[in-house]
Every structure is written in structure tokens, then in C-alpha cells.
């Protein structure tokens, strides 16, 4: 997550932020990535500089204890926690803007699509987000199944236990096991409306209601694989080599 402390990168995001929000006083919320917390140097620097230079009030929204819960709390629980927090923030009543960092993007999208009765999200900037999933789960530690969970074969990644104890499993999409992904992955297939015969038009409607959507991909991305996932591109089903641009994926073709 070194990009968070990069002055040039921060100024780049602020230029985008200001071009969208210059005429608006709407506050913003930042959702940090995996292995981070709102109190670490990167999140603090990024949020404070964004607020200072854009002249918009904003804050990093913490979920649980930050670092460990970013790994261990299921994404549906993270979204529920974030949902209750934003609904209790009076300063967001008239709407707010969202900035997602890495894994924070799937939580942000959960806020947009799943949070009933919440203040409206006006604009969303997605920075290095696993929006179409990751073909390799980020490394995890502290559990006996970690070595297998991140393997190419993904042994156990879609089991109830792993899905309930390892947040990245909620957006791990193994190209060689799409059936397992659609059946066992609890989070991403839901918010991406990928589950056959179980699509929800409300999710699409809420996501389409955004005034502005900005998707930022890193050319030298080391965590989100493939990097094109940040733009909703992904590997062709059954392949770990052929990457489909967003316009050729089922997500796009099936709208």
C-alpha cells in the first residue's frame, strides 16, 4: 500500500476529487484496504491531505479494529457495520462521496448497493479495487488453512469456514472453478449480480444512480490479480492467461 504515502499519487487523486466536487460541499468517507487501519500513517496522511486540499470534510471510516478485522471479518459483516455507522452520521444525511482503497472498494460497493435506508452516495472513486475479483487470494497468516486458501487450486476457499473467517475469500474468483465461485463465494457474486436466477435489479439501480464513477488501475499492481479487475476486466472462464477487457466480460454483456 505504498501508494498511499506517495505525494504525487495523492495529488493525482486530489485533482480528480476536486474536479468532481469543487462545486459541492458534500463530505467524503474513505474505506481503507486490507492490512490497514484508519490510524496508520498511510490512511491518516491520505485522508487529511484529501480533506485539506479539496476543502471537503471527510474521514476514514473504521470497521472493527481495523487491521485484523480487515482480514478476518466476513465482508457482509463489514458492510453491515459500515452501513450502521453511516446511517448514524448526521453530516451525511444529504449525501456523501466515497473513496475506496483496494479491498475497501468492495465494502464501498456493498454500502452503495446493500445498505437500506442509508444516505445516498453521490460519487465513488475506486482505487485499485478487486471489482471483478482476484484470481489469487491475498496471503493470509494465523490459520492452519491459509497455505491452501491462497493456492491456485483454491482448496477450501469456498468452504463455509473459510468464507466466514477470511475476508478476501469473499471476492476470490478462481477462473478454473467458476461453478464453485457462484455457489460458495458469499459476497462478490451477490453485488456483481452474477448468481444465475438470483439477480437483484435494486443493486444495479443503486450503482447506476452514482453521479460519477472513477475506476483507477495500477500498472504495476501486486495484489489485485489480474490488475484489470480494477476496471471490471477479468480472466476468461477456465483460463489464467487470457484477460478479457470489461466490455467482453459477462458482467458487461449481461448488463
Query: Which pLDDT score is estimated for 5?
Result: 47
Cβ-based burial of 59 (10 A; exposed 0-12, middle 13-18, buried ≥19): middle
Cβ-based burial of 85 (10 A; exposed 0-12, middle 13-18, buried ≥19): middle
CATH 3.40.50.1820 assigned to domain 28-254? The reply is yes
* Band (153; pLDDT cuts 50, 70, 90): very low
Whether the pLDDT of residue 140 is over 90: the answer is: no
d(CA 96, CA 11): 21
| pTM of the full structure | 0.88
User: Given the C-alpha cell 490497514, which residue does it identify?
Assistant: 36
Three-class SS state of 126: strand
Three-class SS state of 93: coil
Domain boundaries, the chain: 28-254
pLDDT in tens, 13-64: 656 666 665 445 789 999 999 989 999 988 888 888 888 877 889 999 999 9
| DSSP per-residue string spanning 139-189 | P--SSTTHHHHTSTT-TTTTSHHHHHH-GGGGGB--TT-HHHHHHH--SHH
Amino acid at each position: 500500500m505504498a501508494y498511499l504515502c506517495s505525494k504525487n499519487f495523492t495529488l493525482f487523486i486530489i485533482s480528480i476529487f476536486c474536479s468532481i466536487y469543487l462545486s459541492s460541499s458534500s463530505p467524503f468517507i474513505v474505506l481503507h484496504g486490507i492490512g490497514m487501519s484508519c490510524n496508520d500513517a498511510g490512511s491518516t496522511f491520505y485522508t487529511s491531505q484529501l480533506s485539506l486540499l479539496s476543502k471537503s470534510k471527510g474521514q476514514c471510516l473504521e470497521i472493527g479494529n481495523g487491521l485484523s478485522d480487515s482480514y478476518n471479518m466476513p465482508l457482509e459483516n463489514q458492510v453491515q457495520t459500515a452501513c450502521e455507522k453511516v446511517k448514524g452520521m448526521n453530516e451525511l444525511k444529504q449525501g456523501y462521496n466515497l473513496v475506496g482503497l483496494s479491498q475497501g472498494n468492495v465494502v464501498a460497493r456493498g454500502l452503495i448497493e446493500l445498505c437500506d435506508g442509508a444516505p445516498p452516495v453521490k460519487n465513488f472513486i475506486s482505487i485499485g479495487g478487486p471489482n471483478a475479483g482476484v484470481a489469487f487470494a491475498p496471503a493470509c497468516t494465523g490459520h492452519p488453512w491459509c497455505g491452501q486458501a491462497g493456492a491456485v487450486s483454491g482448496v477450501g476457499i469456498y468452504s463455509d469456514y473459510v468464507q466466514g473467517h477470511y475476508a478476501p475469500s469473499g471476492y476470490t474468483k478462481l477462473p478454473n472453478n467458476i461453478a464453485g465461485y457462484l455457489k460458495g463465494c458469499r459476497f462478490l457474486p451477490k453485488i456483481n449480480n452474477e448468481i444465475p436466477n438470483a439477480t437483484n435489479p435494486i443493486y444495479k439501480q443503486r450503482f447506476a444512480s452514482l453521479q460519477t464513477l472513477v475506476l483507477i488501475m495500477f500498472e504495476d499492481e501486486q495484489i489485485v490479480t489480474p490488475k484489470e479487475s480494477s476496471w471490471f476486466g477479468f480472466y476468461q472462464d477456465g483460463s489464467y492467461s487470457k484477460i478479457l477487457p470489461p466490455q467482453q466480460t459477462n458482467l458487461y454483456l449481461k448488463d
